[in-house]
Amino acid sequence: MLKPRLIGLVPVRQGIAVQSLQFHRYLPLGRAEIAVEYLDRWGADEIVLLDISASSEQRSIDPALVRRCAAVCRTPLTVGGGIAEVTAASALLAAGADKICVNSAAGRDPDLVDRLASRFGEQCVVVSVDAHRTSSGWQVLTAGGTTAVPRSLEETLSVMQSHGAGEILLNSIDRDGSRQGYDLELIRYCAPRIRIPLIAAGGAGHPAHLAAALAAGASAVAAANMLHYTEHSVIVAKRHMQSAGHAMRLDSPANYPDAGFLDSGRLAMADETRLDAERFNKLPADPV
């Protein structure tokens, strides 16, 4: 059976991986390839590398950065940031990307999605949709949340799907970096309106938020900040989702089979007998 995915997001600004807060404040994390390598080793089901300053600087994500990340990434790697034409996408796929993510350029020119899909197949094209809650409903923004798209959220979803999007990466601008949980209403609104997979993003702070987004209709969940700061964060989060009833892929060498959890979502310490018994167990080396 197909397992729901936990996707690690790596936003990059000016070549540095960052933590993003509501799309307008940023904290530096360090080198993107190191963030990618950790997410990969910790069992992320996919990794999305987004250059969030590329569009406004009228360039696309640097293929050299993609190459460095791909060299250490054994997980599918989606890349995005300023991709506005097929040639740029082609160079990125040659550099090690597996899928292409478009946002601003697709908002201006939905035919871009057609051109990408007819060349690389629909399954290769992820359209990122950034939604913002207003008093009169949802608004779709592009260019890092600075430009309004002249289409409603419902129209955006339907236009992108009919132009050949393979997946929708749905971001809640309001929840971005908040650790308050995904905007479940937003997910519930969008999931029934498309036939392609929906990836929820924006706001995850606790493993329970991930399971809640799946329950609200997302096919996959993406998180950035909550995954970058603790060792084995991805495996632990997936184990927590498994305990909430979602069958997850847990085939990394370390996968915490009998883990207990604290209310914070962190692992509880194993009992003394267990720790004693494991004291002299030798773990197998990384098989690859």
Give the residues lining the site for other proteins (CB under 8 A).
Answer: 1-5, 40, 45-46, 66-67, 70-71, 73-77, 90, 93-99, 117-124, 166-167, 195-197, 219-220, 249, 251-253, 287-288
Nearer to other proteins, 48 or 141 (CB): 48
Q: What CA–CA distance (Å, rounded) separates 116 from 103?
A: 13
Nearer to other proteins, 126 or 173 (CB): 126
Nearer to other proteins, 181 or 197 (CB): 197
Count of other CB atoms within 10 angstroms of residue 37: 18
CB of 61 to other proteins, least distance (A): 13
CB of 25 to other proteins, least distance (A): 32
DSSP-assigned letters across all residues of 148-200: E-SS-HHHHHHHHHHTT-SEEEEEETTTTTT-S---HHHHHHHGGG-SS-EEE
Nearer to other proteins, 18 or 196 (CB): 196
Would you give the distance in Å from CA 93 to the centre of its chain?
A: 18
Q: What CA–CA distance (Å, rounded) separates 251 from 42?
A: 10
In a 3-state reduction of DSSP, which class is residue 100? Answer: strand
CB of 64 to other proteins, least distance (A): 11
Nearer to other proteins, 96 or 110 (CB): 96
Nearer to other proteins, 264 or 284 (CB): 284
210, two tokens? 């991930």
CB of 46 to other proteins, least distance (A): 8
CB of 77 to other proteins, least distance (A): 7
52, two tokens? 């969030």
Distance, first Cα to last Cα, the chain: 25
CB of 280 to other proteins, least distance (A): 25
Half-sphere exposure of 2 (CA within 13 A, CB side): 5
Q: Do residues 176 and 203 make contact, with C-beta atoms less than 8 angstroms apart?
A: yes
